[in-house]
Chains A and B, each alone.
Chain A
Amino acid sequence: MGARSGLGFSTKTSEIILVKKQTNMTQDTQLDLWEVFIQGKAGGDHKHAGSVHASDGKMALQNARDIYTRRNEGSSIWVIPSKYVVASLSEDADMLFDPAEDKIYRHPTFYVMPEGAQQI
């Protein structure tokens, strides 16, 4: 375990990701990368649609509009610089997600569905 244990995860991993992303970006000649989230209908959630290149937020919004809402998919757009995304590492997947596997009691399947309830 060593450096990977305890505090090492939360801080060090995010630093690694940030460094990685920035290195990628300097090799990219097409402006900065932004992540695009599109809301289909008012009141709904914003779903990740993809990414665009842009030099500023306004340009990112317009590019996202032109690329991801051409076929009437959107009612609202969020854009976020990709460099601010902190992602988990795939080699941490077992540590992060496996412990949830045997905790099936976290699913609300042990309750009797009341009659007449459409959804729970």
Chain B
Amino acid sequence: MTTQEALFKYTLRLGDNGLIQGQRLSEWCSRGPILEEDLAITNLALDNIGRAQAFLKYAGEVEGKQKTEDDLAFKRGEREFYNLLMTELPIGDFAYTVAKQVLISAYEYFLYTELSNSTDEIIAGISQKAIKEVRYHLAHAKDWSERLGNGTEESKARLQKAYDELWSYTGEFFETTEEEKVLAPSKVAATTKNFEAKWNDMINEIFTISSITPPTAGWMQSGSQNGIHTEHLGHLLSEMQYLQRAYPDAKW
């Protein structure tokens, strides 16, 4: 893998994470538990999509094939997406969305803190903006986790179930990818293993304040770094990409 190939895939993957997470969160639009939370979740979705736009634009420039961020978002097939599996999982109930956001935001908190100091100026720039958004996402999700975990029997049970189900998708967060091996020594990319313990500490602290029993570590899902996905991504893409597929280059 050349440095250019690695940088393309690295930025593509950062973009895909935001894009797919944003697309999933946007499904809450008009379905939030209360109007205020409806707006809050769609705000999170927009932050994610904005970040995706910036990273995919950069990925297009790195690839050098005149592709725009829209080309990359709407004209790639399932196997060409590298988003973490957790982001593509269906939104489930509100507790599931909260648990997912806690796990992802805590990960992104450490990731974008590191990437804010990337030796690649563009990655550093996007990350410095992203970290402000992510801090808010984390605070928002963490507070909801605390409320649901200490709310009613039902809210607690739903939250516990969500964390249990999602846990096997967290292993991917800290896999050392090929592009990381190429880009981390020059500090362009972050070394995810470096903050795995800190992430675990933070998550365990959130479990404690949420009265949640930590899920038992077991077999971990894997595949997205090679474009292997769950059955959910194809369905998500068919909806997200429908317009550009049916009416290529449509503008309005």
Contacts and interface: CB of A to CB of B under 8 A. Distances in A.
A63 B36 contact: yes
Interface stretch (A11-19, A54-62, A80-88, A108-116): A54-62
B80 interface: no
B39 A30 contact: no
A70 B39 CA distance: 10
* Range, interface on chain B: 10 to 19
Interface string A58-100: 1100110011001000000000000000000000000000000
Interface string B137-151: 001100100010000
A63 B37 CA distance: 7
B143 A70 contact: no
Interface string B162-178: 00000000000000000
A56 B140 CA distance: 13
Contacts of A70: 43
A52 interface: yes
Which of A31, A53, A59 counts the most chain B CB atoms within 10 A? A59
B220 interface: no
Contacts of B40: 62-63, 66
Interface string B10-39: 000000000000000000000000111101
Interface residues of A, number: 14
A55 B147 contact: yes
B45 to A, nearest CB: 12
Contacts of B35: 30, 53
Contacts of A53: 34-36
Determine chain B's interface SS by DSSP, over half rule: helix
B234 to A, nearest CB: 32
A62 B40 CA distance: 8
Nearest to B34: A30
Interface string B117-148: 00000000000000000000001100100010
A36 to B, nearest CB: 11
Interface string A27-56: 000110000000000000000000011111
A78 B39 CA distance: 19
Contacts of B147: 55-56, 59
B154 to A, nearest CB: 16
Nearest to B43: A66
Interface of A: 30-31, 52-56, 58-59, 62-63, 66-67, 70
18 contacts: A30-B34, A30-B35, A31-B34, A52-B36, A53-B35, A53-B36, A56-B147, A59-B143, A59-B147, A62-B139, A62-B143, A63-B36, A63-B40, A66-B39, A66-B40, A66-B43, A67-B36, A67-B39
Given A59-B143, A66-B39, 15 more contacts: A30-B34, A30-B35, A53-B34, A54-B36, A56-B147, A58-B143, A62-B40, A62-B139, A62-B143, A63-B37, A63-B40, A66-B36, A66-B40, A66-B43, A70-B43
